[in-house]
Amino acid sequence: MAGTKRSKIKKNDQVVIIAGRDKGKRGRVLEVAPVTGKIKVEGAGVIKRHQKASPQSNRGGGIIEKEAFINISNVQLIDPQSGKPTRVKYQIESDGSKIRVAAASGHSLEK
């Protein structure tokens, strides 16, 4: 695959999971992988991994829990006005810049 896919969800956005075993959970986006179409959400999609101790990197061993990537189609952004899940659309401002807005309320999603 050449190039990158665009993602309407960015790092540090507040999202709600709409499908899968963590349906209904809300969290902050930790990482986005637009090429594969996946994201990591804080506290969702938690998996257990066996980790070997590594003295040179000062890391202990044992079974650790970490967030796994989940499909980007299984999450929706949270509308800043109502707190409900919403789709995203782009709006072009008068100065030519493009901002993300909630499709339901029309409020800006930019910080």
**Residue 82 falls inside a structural domain:** yes
50-95 pLDDT per residue, tens: 999 999 999 889 999 999 999 999 999 999 999 999 999 999 999 9
In tens, the pLDDT along 1-38 reads 566 678 899 999 999 999 999 999 999 999 999 999 99
Q: How sure is the predictor about 111, in pLDDT bands with cuts at 50, 70 and 90?
A: confident
Is residue 91 within 8 A of residue 103, CB to CB? The reply is no
Domain coverage including residue 70 = 14-52+60-102
Output the 3-class SS for 42-97.
CCCCEEEEEECCEHHHCECCEEEEEECCEEHHHEEEECCCCCCEECEEEEECCCCC
Q: What is the CATH number of the domain that holds 29?
A: 2.30.30.30
Kindly state whether residue 84 falls inside one of the protein's structural domains. Answer: yes
Q: CA 39 to CA 73: how far, in whole Å? A: 10
Domain count, the chain: 1
Structure tokens at 57: 């990197």
